Amino acid sequence: MALQNILGLNRRPPGPRWPWPPPCGTVVRPPFLLSHGTTTLAFRCDHGVVVAADTRSSCGGLVSDPASRKVVILHSHLLATTSGTSADCATWLRLLRCSLRLRQLQEGRQPSVAGAAKLLAFLLRGCRHRDLCVATLLCGWDHTGPSLYYVYSNGTCLSGDAFSVGSGSPYAYSVIDGAYRYDLPRDEAFLLARQAVGHAAHRDAYSGGNVDLYHVRPTGWVCLSREDLSEVYRGLRPTVYEEKDDEYEENREDTTALD
């Protein structure tokens, strides 16, 4: 018998700690977790819903995409922000968009924002044990006026006046809570949203890139701007917003082509 056999030096390496393929009904955890974060926010005003989000997508300690789009178009009067795992958010919001379109064809009118939020929460609740990571804000205008809902992957569905989601949300709340009110004028509301995302990106390592600013009003959503967050934080480029019907049509076509 060889010496290495006696000393046990030629033992086979141990196999994986989990069986592969896993037995039916077993939840398999990934061998390591990837850190990710973002900053998305929205708040209601008497003139509509103001939506803002950064554009940095991260994968662990790497920036995978500095100019991603985290505001998803569901229809002409409804937007959704994405926070969590990008693949999960894209898949479930695409499913929601298809479901809303089918309901519109069956009923002859667009579903309300509350109906869309409850539908998404119902769909996610059935997969709450599948390790999904979806946190979205549904921002729209319906027969009740401006509406804002927060939906999480465990089926949580909340209505409110102001929400911020992501790793930079505590910093964004510190700015919003001090200046937000329902009767904010348009220019002040747009400036507040930009400053909140800019402050969050300055403090949060996983937020950055640019800030996308949207406004949902009775005639539909408008893509107002995309600005560099470093300039927004330092206040180098104050923006004056003028909302017109022809500008709305132009921005809607351009942004839809990017979606």
Pick the closest to residue 72 from 81, 63, 59 (CA basis). 81
Residues in the chain: 259
Handedness of CA 231, 232, 233, 236 (dihedral sign): positive
- For residue 171, the tally of other CB atoms under 10 A from its CB is 22
The strands making up 210-217's β-sheet, listed across from edge to edge, are: 162-165, 40-45, 48-54, 210-217, 220-228
Catalytic residues: 38
Phi, psi for 106 (deg, rounded to 5): -80, -40
Q: What is the DSSP letter of 185?
A: -
Q: Reduce the DSSP state of residue 40 to 3 states and report it.
A: strand
Pick the closest to residue 57 from 199, 212, 195, 171 (CA basis). 212
- Write the DSSP assignment of 73-114 as a string of letters: EEETTEEEE-EE-HHHHHHHHHHHHHHHHHHHHHHSSPPPHH
Please identify which residue in the block is written with the tokens 């009067």.
Answer: 77
